[in-house]
Amino acid sequence: MSIQEIYVSGGYFDKPFYSFYYDNLGTQQITTLSFDIFNTYNFFRLNNANTHPFYIKEKSASNQSLNFTGDGNISSGIRSEESFSLAFDPDINLSESISYFCTSHSSMNYEVNLTAFEKIATIENNLIKINLEIGNNYLLTSIRDYDGNFHANTGSVSDATKSAYKYQGLIDVNADGTKEAIYTNKESGRWVTASVNSSTGEINYSEHGSGGTTRVVGIYIDPLVQDGVVEQGSDYDSQRRFQNDLKIDNLTAKHSGDYDSDGIHEVYWKTNDETAYLRALMHADGNIRYANYQSKEQMIEYLTANGDESVISDII
Protein backbone atom coordinates (compact mmCIF):
# COMPACT_ATOMS: atom_id res chain seq x y z
CA MET A 1 0.00 0.00 0.00
CA SER A 2 1.26 3.46 -0.83
CA ILE A 3 0.14 7.06 -0.54
CA GLN A 4 0.04 9.05 -3.75
CA GLU A 5 -0.30 12.80 -4.02
CA ILE A 6 -2.21 14.15 -7.01
CA TYR A 7 -2.46 17.79 -8.03
CA VAL A 8 -5.58 18.75 -10.00
CA SER A 9 -5.60 21.56 -12.55
CA GLY A 10 -8.14 24.36 -12.74
CA GLY A 11 -10.25 22.37 -15.18
CA TYR A 12 -11.77 22.97 -18.63
CA PHE A 13 -14.92 21.98 -20.49
CA ASP A 14 -13.32 19.50 -22.92
CA LYS A 15 -12.63 15.88 -21.99
CA PRO A 16 -10.93 14.72 -19.82
CA PHE A 17 -11.88 18.04 -18.06
CA TYR A 18 -8.87 18.18 -15.73
CA SER A 19 -5.13 17.59 -15.94
CA PHE A 20 -3.36 15.72 -13.14
CA TYR A 21 0.20 15.93 -11.85
CA TYR A 22 2.41 14.15 -9.35
CA ASP A 23 4.08 17.38 -8.25
CA ASN A 24 2.90 20.79 -7.09
CA LEU A 25 4.83 22.53 -9.87
CA GLY A 26 2.84 20.81 -12.60
CA THR A 27 5.91 19.34 -14.33
CA GLN A 28 5.16 15.61 -13.89
CA GLN A 29 1.86 14.99 -15.63
CA ILE A 30 -0.20 11.84 -15.08
CA THR A 31 -1.13 10.79 -18.61
CA THR A 32 -3.76 8.21 -17.60
CA LEU A 33 -5.43 8.41 -14.22
CA SER A 34 -6.55 5.19 -12.54
CA PHE A 35 -7.08 4.18 -8.94
CA ASP A 36 -5.66 1.11 -7.23
CA ILE A 37 -7.81 0.10 -4.30
CA PHE A 38 -4.78 -0.69 -2.13
CA ASN A 39 -3.47 2.87 -2.37
CA THR A 40 -4.52 6.08 -0.65
CA TYR A 41 -4.79 9.21 -2.79
CA ASN A 42 -4.31 12.75 -1.52
CA PHE A 43 -5.83 15.39 -3.83
CA PHE A 44 -4.77 19.03 -4.00
CA ARG A 45 -5.56 21.85 -6.41
CA LEU A 46 -2.63 22.80 -8.62
CA ASN A 47 -1.60 26.42 -7.97
CA ASN A 48 -4.54 26.64 -5.54
CA ALA A 49 -6.96 26.68 -8.47
CA ASN A 50 -10.31 28.20 -7.52
CA THR A 51 -12.27 27.09 -10.60
CA HIS A 52 -14.33 23.94 -11.24
CA PRO A 53 -14.52 22.44 -7.74
CA PHE A 54 -13.27 18.84 -7.90
CA TYR A 55 -14.56 15.66 -6.27
CA ILE A 56 -14.99 11.90 -6.80
CA LYS A 57 -17.98 9.56 -6.63
CA GLU A 58 -19.21 6.06 -7.37
CA LYS A 59 -21.69 5.67 -10.22
CA SER A 60 -24.47 5.17 -7.69
CA ALA A 61 -23.29 8.34 -5.90
CA SER A 62 -23.65 6.46 -2.59
CA ASN A 63 -19.87 6.39 -2.05
CA GLN A 64 -20.31 3.52 0.42
CA SER A 65 -17.01 1.92 -0.61
CA LEU A 66 -15.09 5.20 -0.79
CA ASN A 67 -13.52 6.58 2.36
CA PHE A 68 -12.92 10.33 2.38
CA THR A 69 -11.15 12.55 4.87
CA GLY A 70 -10.49 16.26 4.54
CA ASP A 71 -12.30 19.00 2.70
CA GLY A 72 -15.15 18.94 0.19
CA ASN A 73 -18.04 16.57 -0.44
CA ILE A 74 -20.16 15.27 -3.27
CA SER A 75 -22.05 18.56 -3.45
CA SER A 76 -19.16 20.93 -2.98
CA GLY A 77 -15.75 19.83 -4.26
CA ILE A 78 -12.36 21.19 -3.33
CA ARG A 79 -10.92 24.47 -4.56
CA SER A 80 -8.11 26.83 -3.62
CA GLU A 81 -6.13 25.44 -0.64
CA GLU A 82 -8.62 22.67 0.16
CA SER A 83 -7.67 19.00 -0.13
CA PHE A 84 -9.00 15.52 0.60
CA SER A 85 -7.78 11.94 0.91
CA LEU A 86 -9.43 8.91 -0.69
CA ALA A 87 -9.11 5.26 0.34
CA PHE A 88 -11.13 2.25 -0.82
CA ASP A 89 -12.86 -0.63 0.92
CA PRO A 90 -11.15 -3.88 -0.14
CA ASP A 91 -14.49 -5.45 -1.06
CA ILE A 92 -15.44 -2.69 -3.47
CA ASN A 93 -16.98 -3.91 -6.72
CA LEU A 94 -14.09 -3.61 -9.17
CA SER A 95 -16.51 -3.19 -12.05
CA GLU A 96 -18.18 -0.26 -10.29
CA SER A 97 -17.79 2.97 -12.19
CA ILE A 98 -15.73 5.61 -10.38
CA SER A 99 -15.83 9.16 -11.69
CA TYR A 100 -14.16 12.46 -10.97
CA PHE A 101 -16.33 15.48 -11.63
CA CYS A 102 -16.91 19.19 -11.21
CA THR A 103 -19.56 19.86 -8.58
CA SER A 104 -20.60 23.02 -10.41
CA HIS A 105 -20.97 21.58 -13.92
CA SER A 106 -22.65 18.17 -14.36
CA SER A 107 -21.25 17.81 -17.90
CA MET A 108 -17.73 17.59 -16.46
CA ASN A 109 -17.90 13.95 -15.40
CA TYR A 110 -15.23 11.39 -16.33
CA GLU A 111 -14.99 7.67 -15.51
CA VAL A 112 -11.78 6.20 -14.08
CA ASN A 113 -10.73 2.55 -14.00
CA LEU A 114 -10.19 0.67 -10.74
CA THR A 115 -7.29 -1.75 -10.31
CA ALA A 116 -6.29 -4.04 -7.45
CA PHE A 117 -2.60 -4.95 -7.49
CA GLU A 118 -0.76 -6.51 -4.58
CA LYS A 119 2.98 -7.21 -4.67
CA ILE A 120 3.77 -10.65 -3.24
CA ALA A 121 7.11 -11.36 -4.93
CA THR A 122 10.29 -9.82 -6.25
CA ILE A 123 11.90 -10.68 -9.56
CA GLU A 124 15.58 -11.64 -9.49
CA ASN A 125 17.41 -12.85 -12.61
CA ASN A 126 14.03 -13.40 -14.31
CA LEU A 127 12.96 -15.71 -11.48
CA ILE A 128 10.05 -15.15 -9.11
CA LYS A 129 11.16 -14.85 -5.50
CA ILE A 130 7.96 -15.14 -3.50
CA ASN A 131 7.66 -13.09 -0.32
CA LEU A 132 5.49 -15.70 1.39
CA GLU A 133 6.28 -18.71 3.56
CA ILE A 134 4.72 -22.05 2.64
CA GLY A 135 2.40 -23.16 5.43
CA ASN A 136 1.76 -19.66 6.80
CA ASN A 137 -1.64 -17.97 6.73
CA TYR A 138 -2.16 -14.65 4.97
CA LEU A 139 -4.83 -12.00 4.63
CA LEU A 140 -6.20 -11.85 1.09
CA THR A 141 -7.99 -8.57 1.21
CA SER A 142 -9.79 -8.61 -2.11
CA ILE A 143 -10.02 -12.12 -3.55
CA ARG A 144 -13.21 -12.95 -5.49
CA ASP A 145 -14.72 -15.87 -7.33
CA TYR A 146 -15.35 -15.95 -11.09
CA ASP A 147 -18.58 -13.94 -10.72
CA GLY A 148 -16.97 -11.31 -8.51
CA ASN A 149 -18.34 -12.47 -5.16
CA PHE A 150 -16.02 -11.38 -2.36
CA HIS A 151 -14.38 -14.55 -0.94
CA ALA A 152 -16.94 -16.55 -3.00
CA ASN A 153 -19.67 -15.45 -0.61
CA THR A 154 -22.73 -13.41 -1.48
CA GLY A 155 -23.21 -12.35 2.15
CA SER A 156 -20.94 -11.02 4.86
CA VAL A 157 -17.47 -12.53 5.29
CA SER A 158 -15.83 -13.07 8.67
CA ASP A 159 -12.40 -11.69 9.50
CA ALA A 160 -11.36 -15.27 10.27
CA THR A 161 -12.07 -16.28 6.66
CA LYS A 162 -10.24 -13.26 5.21
CA SER A 163 -7.06 -14.03 7.15
CA ALA A 164 -7.05 -17.85 6.86
CA TYR A 165 -5.47 -18.24 3.41
CA LYS A 166 -2.69 -20.78 3.80
CA TYR A 167 0.03 -20.39 1.19
CA GLN A 168 0.80 -23.69 -0.56
CA GLY A 169 3.40 -22.64 -3.14
CA LEU A 170 3.69 -21.66 -6.81
CA ILE A 171 2.09 -23.96 -9.40
CA ASP A 172 1.03 -23.41 -13.00
CA VAL A 173 -2.54 -24.70 -12.78
CA ASN A 174 -3.50 -24.42 -16.45
CA ALA A 175 -0.28 -24.72 -18.48
CA ASP A 176 -0.35 -21.11 -19.68
CA GLY A 177 3.24 -20.47 -18.61
CA THR A 178 2.21 -18.26 -15.67
CA LYS A 179 2.63 -19.59 -12.18
CA GLU A 180 -0.14 -19.15 -9.65
CA ALA A 181 0.24 -18.72 -5.91
CA ILE A 182 -1.97 -21.43 -4.36
CA TYR A 183 -3.84 -20.81 -1.11
CA THR A 184 -6.23 -23.01 0.85
CA ASN A 185 -8.76 -21.74 3.39
CA LYS A 186 -10.01 -24.02 6.14
CA GLU A 187 -12.63 -21.47 7.22
CA SER A 188 -14.40 -21.37 3.86
CA GLY A 189 -13.42 -24.82 2.56
CA ARG A 190 -12.24 -23.27 -0.71
CA TRP A 191 -8.94 -22.73 -2.50
CA VAL A 192 -7.45 -19.88 -4.46
CA THR A 193 -5.23 -19.41 -7.49
CA ALA A 194 -3.47 -16.05 -7.83
CA SER A 195 -1.46 -15.40 -11.00
CA VAL A 196 1.93 -13.80 -10.30
CA ASN A 197 3.16 -11.32 -12.90
CA SER A 198 6.66 -12.51 -13.82
CA SER A 199 7.80 -8.93 -14.48
CA THR A 200 6.41 -7.14 -11.43
CA GLY A 201 5.78 -9.84 -8.82
CA GLU A 202 2.21 -8.58 -8.43
CA ILE A 203 -1.14 -10.30 -8.38
CA ASN A 204 -4.12 -8.49 -9.87
CA TYR A 205 -7.34 -9.15 -7.96
CA SER A 206 -9.43 -7.73 -10.80
CA GLU A 207 -8.47 -10.69 -13.03
CA HIS A 208 -11.03 -13.05 -11.53
CA GLY A 209 -13.37 -13.47 -14.50
CA SER A 210 -12.92 -14.51 -18.12
CA GLY A 211 -9.26 -14.52 -19.11
CA GLY A 212 -8.02 -14.29 -15.53
CA THR A 213 -6.77 -16.84 -13.02
CA THR A 214 -6.78 -14.87 -9.77
CA ARG A 215 -9.87 -16.15 -8.03
CA VAL A 216 -11.49 -18.49 -5.55
CA VAL A 217 -11.66 -21.72 -7.55
CA GLY A 218 -15.14 -22.96 -8.34
CA ILE A 219 -17.02 -25.99 -7.07
CA TYR A 220 -17.66 -28.85 -9.47
CA ILE A 221 -20.13 -31.74 -9.64
CA ASP A 222 -18.54 -35.16 -9.44
CA PRO A 223 -19.09 -36.95 -12.80
CA LEU A 224 -20.06 -40.07 -10.87
CA VAL A 225 -22.83 -38.04 -9.21
CA GLN A 226 -24.01 -36.86 -12.62
CA ASP A 227 -24.06 -40.45 -13.84
CA GLY A 228 -26.07 -41.56 -10.83
CA VAL A 229 -23.31 -43.90 -9.62
CA VAL A 230 -22.57 -41.90 -6.47
CA GLU A 231 -24.99 -40.02 -4.22
CA GLN A 232 -24.26 -36.31 -4.03
CA GLY A 233 -22.92 -35.32 -0.62
CA SER A 234 -22.00 -38.87 0.32
CA ASP A 235 -18.56 -40.01 1.43
CA TYR A 236 -17.90 -41.12 -2.16
CA ASP A 237 -18.65 -37.70 -3.66
CA SER A 238 -15.18 -36.36 -4.50
CA GLN A 239 -16.31 -32.71 -4.34
CA ARG A 240 -17.66 -33.23 -0.83
CA ARG A 241 -14.49 -35.00 0.23
CA PHE A 242 -12.30 -32.34 -1.41
CA GLN A 243 -14.11 -29.56 0.41
CA ASN A 244 -14.05 -31.43 3.70
CA ASP A 245 -10.30 -31.97 3.39
CA LEU A 246 -9.89 -28.23 2.81
CA LYS A 247 -11.95 -27.48 5.92
CA ILE A 248 -9.80 -29.72 8.11
CA ASP A 249 -6.59 -28.40 6.51
CA ASN A 250 -5.74 -31.85 5.17
CA LEU A 251 -4.36 -30.99 1.72
CA THR A 252 -1.02 -29.85 0.36
CA ALA A 253 -0.58 -28.83 -3.28
CA LYS A 254 2.35 -30.76 -4.77
CA HIS A 255 2.75 -30.72 -8.56
CA SER A 256 1.06 -30.02 -11.89
CA GLY A 257 1.28 -31.30 -15.44
CA ASP A 258 -0.57 -32.98 -18.30
CA TYR A 259 0.55 -36.41 -17.21
CA ASP A 260 -1.46 -38.46 -19.70
CA SER A 261 -0.94 -35.98 -22.60
CA ASP A 262 -4.67 -35.55 -23.26
CA GLY A 263 -4.53 -31.75 -23.29
CA ILE A 264 -6.04 -31.39 -19.80
CA HIS A 265 -3.76 -29.98 -17.11
CA GLU A 266 -3.77 -31.69 -13.72
CA VAL A 267 -2.82 -30.60 -10.21
CA TYR A 268 -1.78 -33.22 -7.66
CA TRP A 269 -2.51 -32.78 -3.96
CA LYS A 270 -1.45 -34.96 -1.06
CA THR A 271 -3.55 -35.43 2.05
CA ASN A 272 -1.65 -34.43 5.17
CA ASP A 273 -2.77 -37.60 6.91
CA GLU A 274 -1.01 -39.50 4.07
CA THR A 275 -4.05 -41.61 3.27
CA ALA A 276 -4.61 -40.48 -0.33
CA TYR A 277 -3.66 -38.29 -3.26
CA LEU A 278 -6.04 -35.93 -5.05
CA ARG A 279 -5.80 -35.47 -8.81
CA ALA A 280 -7.58 -32.28 -9.89
CA LEU A 281 -8.29 -31.79 -13.58
CA MET A 282 -8.35 -28.15 -14.62
CA HIS A 283 -10.05 -26.07 -17.28
CA ALA A 284 -7.91 -23.91 -19.57
CA ASP A 285 -9.08 -20.83 -17.65
CA GLY A 286 -7.71 -22.23 -14.39
CA ASN A 287 -11.01 -23.32 -12.91
CA ILE A 288 -11.54 -26.93 -11.86
CA ARG A 289 -13.30 -29.58 -13.99
CA TYR A 290 -13.42 -32.31 -11.37
CA ALA A 291 -11.09 -34.33 -9.15
CA ASN A 292 -10.61 -37.89 -8.02
CA TYR A 293 -8.81 -39.46 -5.09
CA GLN A 294 -6.14 -42.10 -5.57
CA SER A 295 -4.27 -44.35 -3.23
CA LYS A 296 -0.49 -44.15 -3.23
CA GLU A 297 -0.37 -47.26 -5.38
CA GLN A 298 -2.89 -45.88 -7.86
CA MET A 299 -1.01 -42.58 -8.12
CA ILE A 300 2.30 -44.35 -8.77
CA GLU A 301 0.71 -46.72 -11.30
CA TYR A 302 -0.96 -43.83 -13.16
CA LEU A 303 2.19 -41.71 -13.41
CA THR A 304 4.42 -44.67 -14.25
CA ALA A 305 2.08 -45.85 -17.01
CA ASN A 306 2.31 -42.41 -18.59
CA GLY A 307 6.08 -42.12 -18.33
CA ASP A 308 6.06 -39.60 -15.51
CA GLU A 309 7.98 -41.57 -12.90
CA SER A 310 10.32 -38.59 -12.33
CA VAL A 311 7.61 -36.51 -10.65
CA ILE A 312 6.52 -39.18 -8.16
CA SER A 313 9.17 -38.10 -5.66
CA ASP A 314 7.84 -34.51 -5.82
CA ILE A 315 4.33 -35.69 -4.97
CA ILE A 316 5.01 -38.26 -2.25
Any idea where the domains of the chain sit in the sequence?
3-115, 118-315
pLDDT of residue 100: 97
Beta bridge partners of 108: none
Above 90 in pLDDT, residue 199? yes
Instruction: List pLDDT tens digits, range 77-97.
Output: 999 999 999 999 888 888 777
CA angle, 133 then 138 then 141, to 5°: 140
Instruction: List pLDDT tens digits, range 228-243.
Output: 999 999 988 999 999 9
Instruction: List pLDDT tens digits, range 204-229.
Output: 999 999 989 999 999 999 999 999 99
How confident is residue 154, by pLDDT bands cut at 50, 70 and 90?
Answer: confident
- In 3D space, the residue among 246, 266, 275, 280 whose CA is nearest the CA of residue 311 turns out to be 266
* Mean of pLDDT values over 44-55: 98
pLDDT of residue 305: 97
Helix (H) or strand (E) holding 242: helix 238-247
CA angle, 28 then 5 then 105, to 5°: 90
User: Which pTM was predicted?
Assistant: 0.86
Could you give the C-alpha distances from 287 to 65, 76, 88, 196, 270, in angstroms and in order? 29, 46, 28, 16, 19
DSSP 115-142: E-EEE-EEEETTEEEESS-TT-EE--SS
Beta bridge partners of 256: 267
Range of lowest pLDDT (30-44, 54-68, 250-264, 267-281): 54-68
* Mean of pLDDT values over 28-43: 95
> Mean pLDDT across the chain, nearest whole number?
94
pLDDT of residue 1: 66
Range of lowest pLDDT (52-56, 76-80, 86-90, 183-187): 86-90
Query: Please, what sign has the CA dihedral across residues 134, 140, 146, 152?
Result: positive
296 vs 285: CA distance, rounded Å:
29
In CATH, the number for domain 3-115 is 2.60.40
Instruction: List pLDDT tens digits, range 264-284.
Output: 999 999 999 999 999 999 999
Which SS3 state, helix, strand or coil, does residue 60 take?
coil
pLDDT of residue 194: 97
Burial 180-217 (b: 16+ CB within 10 A, else e): bbbbbbbbbbbbbbbbbbeeebbbbbbbbbeebbbbbb
